[in-house]
Structure 1
Amino acid sequence: MGAAPPAKTAGNQIRTKNEETLMQTDLLIRNACVRDDAPLTDIAITNGRIVALEAGIDVHADEIIDAGGRAVIPGLIEAHLHLDKALLHRRLPARFGTLDEAIRVTGILKGKQERTDVLDRSRQVLDMAVRNGTVAVRAHPDVDLIQGLIGVETLLELKQEYHDLLDLQIVAFPQEGILKSSGTYELMVEAMQLGADVVGGCPYNELTWADTRRHIDMVFELAQRFGAPVDLHADFADDASDQRFAAVSYIAQKTIETGYQGKVALGHVTSLGALDPDELAPLIELVREAGISIVTLPATDLYLGGRKDRGSQRRGLTPVKALHSAGVNVAYSSNNVRNAFTPFGTADMLQIGNMLAHVAQFGVPEHQLAVLDMGTYNAARAIGLDEQYGLAVGKDADLVILDTFRVADALLDIPPRLWVVKRGRITVVTQHRCEIHRHQCCAH
């Protein structure tokens, strides 16, 4: 990774070539394919923001990148990622691939967590994400009596360390439940006081439906106390026969009652995939009315789903197409990287998007672009960054130049990220060269 000097603090303005005076800008990206149906565009960046976006910008620039017609997209966003549990896949391998086993195995390993090890593994995944063009992460460290606040404390340190590379949000996440694990709520309060940004929840991991509802109530009460958004792991099952895994309606109603529309995200939500259209439609409408974002996690959900099925094995994915068609904000994310929940992964949002497009059967061109939006604009909305995000004048200069020449090919090619820019600073430069020598292809 290579970093440019910090952006200048002077309030410089851009004048185009049609104006008399040429001004100074920090970074100018020439010949960018921002839209496949439009001419190549130049992007001028000053003080970390996009100040001009048009063809033929004529300014003096401290640094110039010639994209050469390559696709430029907004920076990718991991809206749901577990760093404290990453890269544990070889320490105690899961044998059955079920959710219950993953929670149990991870619980054993959490009891052995050490601060330096958590920091090291988290850095490895964050470095993967940065190299792959991710500019923001919402991380869900476990807050429980097993590992205490080590996940939150290490992320608070990494939030400062990675400040120039990505934005890091911290969720106080009670993986082991709240009511069935006395003392967890107090730890969540402490986590928020330390600086966690989001109140998390895991309502299915309670013993009764009544406790699941109370879990949700407590999460919203805590969120209101700290003025924080809510992000829940919800409905993580193959069907909705157990009410603990059918909580979306209750969560949506709670969202509306508390005035939290637009401030709630739900991860997984797999049991919705088991409902027939007549049952699903009113529930989706309620989710839309509540302004809830659904973050599908295909790598984990496909791996864990349908493990008990003996025939016609279900794949455990939320109904992405129905949610998208109804106007619900749908995003996707990696969730876990190489642990009992997901034994694969490189924190590459384009790779996960390609997977999602396959399993959600989003193959036509407009659907492929919709999936790309789910990893960019929709994800920004899901974690509350949409006001300052995007390829538009006045927005933060968080973007990725891809080694492909059409935006529509981003998920097809999964191309190298040649340049990554965060708040106007070049954070990643990838030198890629592919030559054929005796049927071998080498990338550097």
Structure 2
Amino acid sequence: MSPLLLRGARLPDGDVRDLLLDPDSGLVARVAPPGVLPSGPDELDLTGHLLLPAPAEPHAHLDKALTWDLAQALPAGAPAGALPGDLSSAVTAWRAYAARVTEEDVFQRAGRAVDELRANGVTAVRTHVDLLTDNGSYRAGDPLRGLRALLRLRRQLRGRVRLQIAVLHIDAPDELLHQALDLGADLLGDCPHLSADPAASVERTLRIAAEHQVGVDLHADETLDPGAQDLRLLARAVRERGFVSGVTASHCVSLGAVEPEEAARTAKEVAAAGIGVVALPLTNLYLQGRDRPSSTPRGLTAVRALLDAGVTVAAGGDNIRDPFNPVGRADPLETASLLVTAGHLTPGEALHAVTAGARAVLGLPEAGPYEGAVADLLAVRAQTVSEVLGASCPERLVFAGGRLVSRTSVVRELY
């Protein structure tokens, strides 16, 4: 393919520049003042657009996506939806629906969800996938059907969206975890706080992941209980083991429920262990705190303490209209906006969490409108970062590896 020349784009620092993208290398080849770079056969005029690093989605559940209305329609007497809206109710509702899930069902819904993510600017996704049970048993049916669907989708998306798959389990048999990783899953996940023995669960997950030389991404401390210890257990285990394949802790809600001094101490342990943390404001604000109708706490990790300690912090959208959250636009800019509102980050910090921070957690090289960076870019019709996060700004162009992969145009008529 020919190089692609972007004309008149406004960069995050306010400068207006032309950029030359090289689709062969997938990198930004040149950045120059307007008019310096010679014209070529392929050009786009980005006047009026802010050009940003493309977001990454560090925590999705594509196997569950778009099932809220389907779960609500279960036969009379079956658990439906996620009422009263807490985590345990959501788990019950999903398990009731999951018994009906087929490989093709997951493949089709996950594909539609990725299309939404891609149109909003996402060029890389890490999705968790359940090992599906039948009446609570991992040994009945095909518990790997969700994984098989996402492996198919990963092959289909090559060159447009990079898809990482983390196997999510709760006390599943070792042989099933080995089988899932042998099939091609990229990471091993776990929910230690839902296990009978969280410390043993963390140790087992790290051991099996190390045997397969894959990374780990745990659902950690998804509770407002200040006594939850998943994150500290993980940090200590990683430091003792010297685990090198990459470790992520997602949710970490309880860290936001402890005193500042304790949050700071834990954050330092997490930084020392090299663990990345993914904040998930949309789903956690929906699920957490329902048992406290007065002065309801924010269901959000201690993002400021983590940043101050030097932890790599990312932010994700988590669930997209499923029993764990009936809303969600598959839009990282919505996630970043919530980090400003509920997490009290600056717009720049919040944008970093869904772009550079998210890519760092995924182990991907830097992307952005800079020479030598990966040419994964998002052009939004806006002038400033605060406008991007505050106004929704649906008009977007998305570039992956130097190629245009999505364009959304809007016609607005006011009378």
**Which structure 2 residue ranges, 5 or more long, are not aligned?**
72-79, 135-141
Change (3 A) 1:251 1:68: same
Quick one: distance in 2 between partners of 1:406 and 1:302? Answer: 27
1:441 aligns to what?
none
Change (3 A) 1:78 1:316: same
1:35 aligns with 2:34: no
Secondary structure in 1 matching 2:192: coil
1:106 aligns with 2:94: yes
* Residue 251 of structure 1, aligned match among 234, 237, 244: 234
1:141 aligns with 2:125: no
CA deviation string 1:253-291 (max 9, x = no partner):
111222236811111100011111222221111111112
CA deviation string 1:19-50 (max 9, x = no partner):
xxxxxx5100011111334x311110111221
1:206 aligns with 2:195: yes
- Give, in angstroms, the shift of residue 429 of structure 1: 1.7
Aligned positions of 1:98-247 closer than 5 A = 98-146=86-134, 148-174=143-169, 177-178=170-171, 181=172, 183=173, 185-207=174-196, 211-241=197-227, 245-247=228-230
Aligned positions of 1:53-68 closer than 5 A = 53-55=31-33, 56-68=35-47
Amino acid aligned to 1:237: T
- Give, in angstroms, the shift of residue 337 of structure 1: 0.7
CA deviation string 1:125-153 (max 9, x = no partner):
11100110110100000024346111211
Quick one: distance in 2 between partners of 1:81 and 1:57? Answer: 41
Secondary structure in 1 matching 2:129: coil
Change (3 A) 1:391 1:226: farther
- Give, in angstroms, the shift of residue 213 of structure 1: 1.0
Quick one: distance in 2 between partners of 1:26 and 1:49? Answer: 10
Quick one: distance in 1 between partners of 2:56 and 2:209? Answer: 23
Quick one: distance in 2 between partners of 1:388 and 1:374? Answer: 13
Quick one: distance in 2 between partners of 1:270 and 1:35? Answer: 31
2:337 aligns to what?
354
Aligned positions of 1:9-28 closer than 5 A = 26-28=3-5
1:415 aligns to what?
393
Amino acid aligned to 2:56: I
Change (3 A) 1:262 1:321: farther
CA deviation string 1:381-430 (max 9, x = no partner):
01111x25333222221111101122442212221243111111111122
Runs of 4 or more above 4 Å deviation: none
Structure exhibiting the larger radius of gyration computed from Cα positions: 1
Quick one: distance in 1 between partners of 2:366 and 2:357? Answer: 13
Contact persistence 1:400–1:417 (CA under 8 A): no
Is 307-316 or 108-117 further displaced after alignment?
Answer: 307-316
1:18 aligns to what?
none
Quick one: distance in 2 between partners of 1:59 and 1:228? Answer: 45
2:265 aligns to what?
282
Contact persistence 1:204–1:236 (CA under 8 A): yes
1:341 aligns to what?
324
Secondary structure in 2 matching 1:101: helix
Quick one: distance in 2 between partners of 1:199 and 1:111? Answer: 23
Is 153-162 or 353-362 further displaced after alignment?
Answer: 353-362
Contact persistence 2:132–2:146 (CA under 8 A): no
Quick one: distance in 1 between partners of 2:303 and 2:109? Answer: 31
Number of residue pairs the alignment of both structures matches: 396
Quick one: distance in 2 between partners of 1:97 and 1:129? Answer: 25
Is 372-381 or 403-412 further displaced after alignment?
Answer: 403-412
* Residue 378 of structure 2, aligned match among 400, 409, 412: 400
1:428 aligns with 2:406: yes
Secondary structure in 1 matching 2:277: strand
Amino acid aligned to 1:341: F
Quick one: distance in 1 between partners of 2:94 and 2:268? Answer: 36
Secondary structure in 1 matching 2:84: coil
Contact persistence 1:305–1:315 (CA under 8 A): yes
Contact persistence 1:33–1:72 (CA under 8 A): yes
Is 285-294 or 133-142 further displaced after alignment?
Answer: 285-294
Contact persistence 1:262–1:291 (CA under 8 A): no
* Residue 278 of structure 2, aligned match among 289, 292, 295: 295
Give the superposed CA RMSD.
Answer: 1.6
CA deviation string 1:88-112 (max 9, x = no partner):
1122222211111111111111111
Change (3 A) 1:26 1:361: same
Contact persistence 2:395–2:410 (CA under 8 A): no
Contact persistence 1:125–1:346 (CA under 8 A): no
Secondary structure in 2 matching 1:137: strand
